[in-house]
Amino acid sequence: MNKSYDEMMKLTQEEFYKITTDFNPTYNLLKLCRSNGYYYMGYFIGSILKKTNAFAHLDELAICAYFVGEYQESIDICNYILYTNLCPETERLRIEQNRKFSEDRLRAEHGIYD
């Protein structure tokens, strides 16, 4: 099979959305991946769940994106959470801190230091 990663991800997402409307078991798997350091698997699962637009899913995905080096995506997800009323006020500071971690890593990656 000579399909690119992006093509395979798209096909997987399409099939996944055809068969499920209950994302809780998949979210639990995402959280388990993240909390046990399986960031690439969590990033993959989180990318599938991204369309659900739920705070908890996007939060976990942002963290996994950071740990697999997708800093800009992590920043974008954090911004989305913060600026679309998805973020509970009790989580705002933590999401802002997570965004800053990604911003710092992205700047360092590009040799930009304050």
Task: Give residue-wise pLDDT tens across range 40-84.
Answer: 888 888 887 777 778 988 999 999 999 999 999 999 999 999 999
Does residue 72 fall inside a structural domain? yes
Q: Which two tokens stand for residue 55?
A: 């705070």
Q: Domain range holding 93?
A: 5-109
Does residue 35 fall inside a structural domain? yes
Which is more confident, 8 or 43?
Answer: 43
Does residue 102 fall inside a structural domain? yes
Residue 2: pLDDT over 60: no
The pLDDT assigned to 23 comes to 63
13 contact partners, CB below 8 Å, separation of at least 6: 47, 48, 51
Domain total in the chain: 1
Round to whole Å and give the CA distance between 61 and 64: 5
Does residue 99 fall inside a structural domain? yes
Does residue 114 fall inside a structural domain? no
Which CATH number does the domain housing residue 13 bear?
A: 1.25.40
Put simply, whether the predicted model's pTM sits higher than 0.95 gets the answer no
Q: What is the average per-residue pLDDT within 18-46? A: 78
Does residue 81 fall inside a structural domain? yes
- pLDDT-based confidence at 93, cuts 50/70/90? very high
Q: Which two tokens stand for residue 1?
A: 């099979």
